[in-house]
Structure 1
Amino acid sequence: MSTSTSQVVRPAGAGHETLYVLLLCLLILGVAGAVVLWRGEPRQVVSVASHQLDARRDLTAGEQGIYADLRVTLDEIRLLHEEAQALPTPGQLAEEGFAPFAQDASSVSRGGHAWQLRQQAYVGLSQDNAVAGSFLLRIAADPAAAPDIWLNRAPALAVPDDFSDTALASAGWQQVVAQFDAGVTRQHRH
């Protein structure tokens, strides 16, 4: 007669393994959080003066496009100025196809500015202030000078006679400045 033997095998307890994995995850999260807090940089927002606008935060999409075009075209204006010993007219810049002076679909959709050369400044009066305000680009004598671009969103604007900072600010023009901080570019310290 054979006696049957039954052996009961209990499953391995997963409670201890789960606890160890959970503790390891908490340790990893704790170390990662400590590293982030230790290496993080405080957010420093630099405010602009009352007569200035931040190119990233304060301009509409159309205005940002014109601002970028003016910054790029400024290099070409300086080169043409060196060659001819005179600033090129907006008509000459339009013939060369330089934005925003060229009358194309892009310039029309960005306010259809009418450009004029006055003294050492290009003034673009907007035909549609809801899309983009009027722009003013002053040309400095120093070719290494930063772009000096001003914006006025007032309707029915006249070309100013005085292009000094104080006269422009008092007439409602605001200088557009580009700030590059940690929010725009990553800073690598070596």
Structure 2
Amino acid sequence: MSTQVVRPAGAGHETLYVLLLCLLIVAVAGSVVAWRHESQAVTSVAAHQLDARRDLSAAEQGIYADLRVTLDEIQLLREEAGTLPSPAQLAEEGFAPFAHDASSISRGNHTWQMLGEQAYLGISPNPEVAGSFLLRLGEQPDIWLNRQHDVRPVTDLSDAALNQSGWQQVIAQFDAGVTRQHRH
């Protein structure tokens, strides 16, 4: 009978192989991340414009969103009736921001009026909470904001006249960085 002695394998070789495998995994993952990297192009707005995500207060963002949603309803009501609905009619229907409810009061308690068949003007008695809004209708409806205390109804709704009167156009820009921006 012969005895065979089996010596334990050294842990050095196994450790080396595991380390090499880990380095290979990290290298592959790093190259995938570098290959799929997207550059973030920062878009700027013109001096007479405000970015709806970055430049508006929470109350202003709420009113802006309400106006964008209600715009579709206004256009449908206009097609049905042949004329624009008044702010009182929109309030009766419960359309924000025209409706007089707790939300409209907390967002500045705007007083809404029509400017002919061209626009709706919401004057804010408290511009520190939310400025006054102008929903200009037409082929390309847009929304303007004025944070001054003494806002009066405007007669000339051209871009140049609104700019001179202290109004700024609110625009919505959507890019890949919408949810990745962290300001602390």
2:114 is the counterpart of 1:117? yes
Distance of 1:111 and 1:168 partners within structure 2: 21
Correspondence for 2:151: 157
**Residue among 73, 79, 84 paired with 1:82:** 79
Contiguous gaps of at least 5 residues in structure 1: 1-7, 186-190
Correspondence for 1:130: 128
Question: SS of 2:43's equivalent?
Answer: coil
Q: CA deviation at 1:102?
A: 0.1
Q: CA deviation at 1:160?
A: 1.6
TM-score of the two chains, using structure 2 as the length reference: 0.87
Structure-to-structure mapping, 1:26-175, within 5 angstroms: 26-119=23-116, 120-140=118-138, 142=139, 145=140, 147-175=141-169
Give me the CA root mean square deviation. 1.8
Q: CA deviation at 1:16?
A: 3.2
Moved more, 74-83 or 10-19: 10-19
TM-score of the two chains, using structure 1 as the length reference: 0.85
Moved over 6 A (4+): 8-11
Q: CA deviation at 1:35?
A: 1.5
Q: Deviations over 1:129-169 (max 9, x none)?
A: 121111100111x3xx3x40001111121122211101101
Moved more, 27-36 or 49-58: 27-36
Distance of 1:112 and 1:18 partners within structure 2: 70
Q: CA deviation at 1:28?
A: 1.5
Structure-to-structure mapping, 1:2-41, within 5 angstroms: 13-41=10-38
Contiguous gaps of at least 5 residues in structure 2: 180-184
Q: CA deviation at 1:23?
A: 2.4
Aligned length: 174
Question: SS of 2:114's equivalent?
Answer: strand
Q: CA deviation at 1:181?
A: 1.2
